[in-house]
């Protein structure tokens, strides 16, 4: 038996020497156990807090003998002080839980004192609580970054309420709009994400501590107190559900995909806008990269990463879904979700911050956008409305007439940045209706003017500066409430942790 296995045997871990006669096979060590301890640094802090809270609760309930309390808590605090990345996880000791248990045993010389932490507790309870605390931390970081992105979009929109640009459908010019109205296209779903993220956070932030793995415990465990010590919003009441929930991880991962899809849609647009062909946007050099072989190029590498990260979030969601499609009470979902969900949230947070930085430093080419807003006969829709009002043409007939005039202009090689004239409309009317319309030239021209078109969109949610200002006011109120909640939650969790550590030190000091 090699030294590592001998140490594990002496430690008595993983059932060796009791239920099991053999040490774990090398292939098991190098696969499942290696995978689990690979998430050790990620879950270490959450599991440490969970152990401290559970020990405090057991002491308060009078379930740990007086002589074992001080050495046990002292050992837990020593473990808590170890930086997660410095803890010597080793697959020979099993998963994260048994690695921590081995380290605790080495620090608690009093025989059996460390064993009291197992009282009424399953292996997966410790790691599950640690996973929830870790996921809660990463989700709150995502929320904070997400709020900052919304704030950046609102700030940019406020400064561009009069900046003209062409809007697109099918990547073809549709109507003139403003940069402000365009940017709020993405603020709107991100604010819906704020509601979803906050609701998902509340469902994630429910404590399974003290559930006893499946049907509860015969011990008088105070589950409400354990939840309070860790800052959970409540207790996942049903003891079996508390330990084996599948839906919450899927919900959080799905919300991340929804958020990242909005980021992807914006990044896809910016990717196009930054091309020479569009020329609407110049990315900061700090958010770009050169080509190794083509020295003239400035590649929008940051936007390429956002696109890739959005797709990776979908892959993470599918992994979490697939590993949860098992019979109930299986560890498959936890083994993979332990690391998959926090890492996906962390990648999402970094991506949100990246796109925020890109937007903060990008330069919009407002003159070029304004010039392009008049191209492609983009005032045709409003001209049709004018024909219905001034010439008493039904919308279908007006649509046919303008379409005919546009086709004739293109076939004649006329520039598309020039509005249709009254004469062009008369020519189309003669061909289709057998009569001229004789409309005033200035009125026809004004009906197609981008500035006038945007100014006319005064209804709720429209592109006029007044309508955009109303949206900005509403969105700002919603954002402030979201930011206030996130800030308060962060402060609350910090205070909870300080209280937890103070209680733990009081027990350790006797």
Which two tokens mark 373? 């807003």
As a whole number, the mean pLDDT across the chain is 93
**20: β partners:** 16
CB neighbours of residue 276 within 10 Å: 5
Instruction: Provide the pLDDT confidence category of residue 510 given band limits of 50, 70 and 90.
Output: confident
User: Do 134 and 342 touch, CB atoms closer than 8 A?
Assistant: yes
Look-up of token digits 């100014």: 455
Position 4 scores a pLDDT of 59
Going 90 to 94 to 95 to 96, the CA torsion angle's sign is negative
Instruction: Provide the pLDDT confidence category of residue 19 given band limits of 50, 70 and 90.
Output: confident
How far apart are alpha carbons 234 and 212 in whole angstroms?
17
Q: Locate the DSSP E strands across 292-350.
A: none
pLDDT reading at 191 higher than 70: yes
**173: β partners:** 168
CB neighbours of residue 147 within 10 Å: 23
Choose the weakest-confidence range: 327-331, 362-366, 396-400, 445-449. Answer: 327-331
Instruction: Provide the pLDDT confidence category of residue 335 given band limits of 50, 70 and 90.
Output: confident
Going 119 to 62 to 245 to 232, the CA torsion angle's sign is negative
Position 8 scores a pLDDT of 58
Domains of the chain, with CATH numbers?
3-38+64-118 (no CATH), 125-372+469-501 (1.20.200.10), 375-448 (1.10.40)
**380: β partners:** none
User: Do 352 and 139 touch, CB atoms closer than 8 A?
Assistant: no
388-402 pLDDT, tens digit each: 999 999 999 999 999
Give DSSP secondary structure letters for 243-258.
HH--HHHHHHHHHHHH
Give DSSP secondary structure letters for 126-162.
HHHHHHHHHHHHHHHHHHHHHHHHHHHHHHHHHHTTT
Which two tokens mark 344? 């996906």
Find, among 443, 467, 469, the residue nearest to 455 by Cα.
467
Position 14 scores a pLDDT of 54
Interstrand relation of 281-282 and 363-364 (parallel, antiparallel or unpaired): antiparallel
Q: CA-CA distances (angstroms) from residue 342 to 91, 278, 280, 335? A: 21, 38, 36, 13
pLDDT reading at 3 higher than 80: no
Instruction: Provide the pLDDT confidence category of residue 50 given band limits of 50, 70 and 90.
Output: very high
Going 131 to 328 to 38 to 17, the CA torsion angle's sign is positive
User: Do 268 and 308 touch, CB atoms closer than 8 A?
Assistant: no
* Centroid of chain to Cα 3: 45
Position 1 scores a pLDDT of 46
456-470 pLDDT, tens digit each: 999 999 999 999 999
How far apart are alpha carbons 218 and 210 in whole angstroms?
11
How far apart are alpha carbons 338 and 298 in whole angstroms?
39
pLDDT reading at 321 higher than 50: yes
Position 7 scores a pLDDT of 59
160-185 pLDDT, tens digit each: 999 999 999 999 999 999 999 999 99
Which two tokens mark 385? 């409305």
118-145 pLDDT, tens digit each: 999 988 899 999 999 999 999 999 999 9
């Amino acid at each position: 038996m090699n030294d590592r296995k001998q140490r594990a045997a002496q430690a008595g871990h993983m059932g060796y020497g009791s239920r099991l006669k053999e040490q774990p096979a090398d292939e098991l060590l190098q696969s499942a156990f290696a995978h689990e301890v690979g998430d050790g640094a990620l879950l270490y802090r959450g599991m440490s807090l969970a152990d401290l809270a559970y020990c405090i609760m057991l002491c308060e309930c009078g379930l740990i003998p007086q002589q074992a309390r001080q050495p046990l808590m002292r050992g837990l605090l020593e473990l808590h002080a170890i930086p997660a990345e410095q803890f010597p996880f080793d697959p020979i000791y099993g998963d994260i839980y048994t690695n921590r248990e081995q380290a605790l045993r080495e620090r608690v010389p009093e025989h059996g004192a460390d064993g009291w932490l197992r009282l009424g507790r399953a292996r997966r309870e410790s790691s599950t609580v640690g996973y929830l605390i870790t996921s809660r931390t990463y989700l709150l970081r995502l929320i904070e970054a997400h709020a900052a992105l919304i704030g950046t979009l609102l700030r940019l929109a406020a400064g561009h309420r009069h900046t003209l640009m062409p809007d697109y459908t099918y990547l073809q010019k549709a109507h003139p709009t403003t940069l402000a109205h365009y940017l709020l296209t993405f603020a709107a779903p991100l604010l819906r994400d704020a509601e979803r993220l906050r609701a998902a956070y509340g469902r994630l932030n429910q404590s399974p501590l003290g559930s006893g793995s499946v049907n509860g415990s015969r011990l008088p465990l105070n589950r409400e107190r354990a939840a309070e010590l860790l800052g959970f919003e409540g207790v996942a009441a049903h003891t079996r559900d508390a330990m084996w929930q599948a839906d919450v991880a899927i919900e959080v991962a799905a919300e991340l995909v929804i958020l990242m899809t909005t980021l992807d849609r914006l990044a896809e647009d910016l990717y196009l806008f930054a091309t020479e062909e569009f020329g609407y946007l110049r990315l900061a050099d700090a958010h770009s990269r050169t080509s190794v072989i083509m020295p003239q190029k400035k590649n929008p590498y940051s936007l390429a990463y956002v696109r890739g990260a959005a797709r990776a979030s979908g892959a993470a969601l599918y992994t979490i879904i697939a590993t949860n499609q098992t019979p109930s009470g299986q560890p498959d979902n936890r083994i993979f979700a332990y690391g998959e969900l926090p890492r996906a949230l962390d990648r999402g947070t970094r991506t949100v911050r990246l796109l925020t930085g890109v937007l903060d430093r990008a330069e919009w080419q407002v003159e070029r956008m304004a010039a392009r807003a008049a191209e492609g006969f983009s005032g045709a829709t409003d001209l049709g409305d004018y024909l219905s009002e001034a010439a008493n043409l039904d919308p279908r007939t007006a649509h046919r007439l303008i379409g005919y005039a546009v086709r004739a202009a293109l076939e004649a090689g006329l520039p598309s940045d020039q509005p249709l004239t009254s004469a062009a409309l008369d020519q189309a009317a003669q061909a289709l209706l057998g009569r001229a319309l004789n409309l005033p030239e200035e009125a026809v021209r004004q009906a197609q003017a981008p500035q006038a078109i945007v100014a006319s969109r005064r209804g709720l949610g429209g592109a006029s500066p007044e309508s955009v200002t109303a949206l900005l006011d509403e969105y700002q109120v919603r954002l402030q409430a979201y930011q206030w909640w996130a800030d308060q939650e962060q402060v609350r969790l910090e205070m909870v942790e300080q209280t937890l550590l103070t209680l733990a030190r009081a027990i350790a000091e006797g």
